[in-house]
């Protein structure tokens, strides 16, 4: 990241540096693994107000915290229209990530607030976890590990990935990264996307199909679709009924893409073989029946939690934030 000169910092009457901008840190991960990212903000003239509650801010909390702020670096904070309209000095909303489903973009646009995100920073991290969940579910690694640790020596019969069909719903940056990895295991890739990238498909031997054909054909269904403006989950009872009884469902995108009650029923009744989930409708999924099942692998939304990805995402976030505060176009503007 570039260093920013002292021209970005005003001085008070005593000649000491005075912050030019106030930045609320909503994201729980920004500045944690790399404290130097907070230092870079401060050196550029920002007062960084860190997240001390250990979770995303809810609407009521933001109504108190956000007024008087020039920027917010957000994770999954509830940036509703009510919050945005009450943020009297807010100039920019900077997503520390890519998902925008917790930000009311229309309210931001109406207020002239610049919204940006950090695409591409985490795609390899999420793609790696997707394959990890796929392999873990396919080879029943969790029950095998637990049984071995407890003194059992029981064999668990799983599924090879070679020659199996991987159905990717949402062939964007992450979906493409998953595609390349899966082909390394000898999988055949089919995909469903509202805006198909035909050049990528042709170059990488991917076949675009209807959602129904994907569900009926795929041995593994992996979700990588956006969550903004969806009226109902992409995967519900009807979709699960179409899947093979031997199929796996992997979700490292957003919990809202799946009807969790329908998924629990499908897993219990053997309508599908298993699932690997990194995301949930409610996080953490306290009280969810998913926690009771042996044929599902669960991780606590760690898709992007690698040192490599967090470094890239932090650098992009800082650049987006400071550019917007200085009145310059951010690297990746959404609104």
pLDDT for 6 equals: 36
Is 187 inside any structural domain? Answer: yes
State how far the alpha carbon of 308 is from the alpha carbons of 40, 71, 88, 123, 316, in Å: 18, 25, 36, 11, 13
Statement to judge: residues 137 and 282 lie in one domain: yes
pLDDT for 35 equals: 96
Is 330 inside any structural domain? Answer: no
Number of separate domains in the chain = 2
Statement to judge: residues 147 and 191 lie in one domain: yes
Query: Catalytic residue numbers?
Result: 254, 283, 301
Domain membership of residue 262 as a residue range: 123-298
Is 108 inside any structural domain? Answer: yes
Statement to judge: residues 293 and 147 lie in one domain: yes
State how far the alpha carbon of 40 is from the alpha carbons of 48, 51, 181, 291, 299, in Å: 10, 17, 35, 41, 31
pTM: predicted TM-score of the whole model, two decimal places: 0.85
Residuewise pLDDT in 10s, the chain (335 residues): 333 333 444 444 455 567 899 999 999 889 988 999 999 999 999 999 999 898 999 999 999 999 999 999 999 999 999 999 999 999 999 999 988 989 999 999 999 999 999 999 999 999 999 999 999 999 999 999 999 999 999 999 999 999 999 999 999 999 999 999 999 999 999 999 999 999 999 999 999 999 999 999 999 999 999 877 678 999 999 999 999 999 999 999 999 999 999 999 999 999 999 999 999 999 899 999 999 999 999 999 999 889 999 999 999 999 999 999 999 999 999 99
């Amino acid at each position: 990241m570039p260093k920013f000169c002292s021209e970005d910092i005003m001085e008070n009457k005593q000649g000491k540096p005075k912050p030019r901008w106030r930045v609320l840190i909503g994201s729980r991960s920004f500045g944690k693994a790399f404290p130097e990212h907070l230092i870079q903000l401060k050196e550029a003239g920002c007062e960084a107000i860190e997240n001390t509650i250990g979770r995303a801010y809810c609407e009521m909390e933001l109504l108190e915290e956000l007024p008087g702020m020039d920027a917010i670096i957000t994770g999954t904070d509830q940036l509703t229209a009510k919050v945005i309209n009450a943020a009297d000095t807010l100039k920019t909303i900077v997503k520390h990530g890519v998902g925008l489903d917790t930000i009311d973009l229309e309210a931001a646009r109406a207020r002239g607030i610049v919204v940006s995100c950090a695409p591409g920073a985490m795609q390899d991290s999420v793609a790696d976890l997707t394959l990890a969940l796929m392999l873990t579910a396919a080879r029943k690694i969790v029950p095998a590990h637990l049984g071995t640790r407890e003194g059992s020596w029981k064999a668990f019969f799983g599924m090879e990935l070679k020659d199996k069909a991987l159905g990717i719903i949402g062939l964007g940056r992450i979906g493409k990264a998953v595609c390349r990895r899966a082909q390394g295991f000898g999988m055949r890739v089919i995909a469903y996307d509202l805006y198909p990238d035909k050049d990528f498909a042709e170059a990488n031997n991917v076949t675009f199909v209807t959602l129904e054909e994907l569900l009926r054909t795929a041995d593994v269904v992996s979700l990588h679709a956006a969550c903004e403006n969806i009226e109902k989950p992409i995967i519900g009872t009807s979709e699960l009924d179409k899947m093979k009884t031997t199929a796996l469902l992997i979700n490292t995108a957003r919990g809202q893409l799946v009807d969790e009650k329908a998924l629990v029923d499908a897993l219990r009744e053997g309508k599908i073989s298993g699932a690997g989930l990194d995301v949930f409708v409610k996080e953490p999924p306290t009280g969810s029946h998913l926690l009771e099942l042996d044929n599902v692998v669960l991780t606590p939304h760690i898709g992007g939690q690698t040192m490599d990805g967090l470094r890239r995402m932090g650098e992009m976030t800082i650049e987006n934030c400071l550019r917007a505060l200085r009145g310059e176009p951010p690297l990746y503007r959404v609104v």
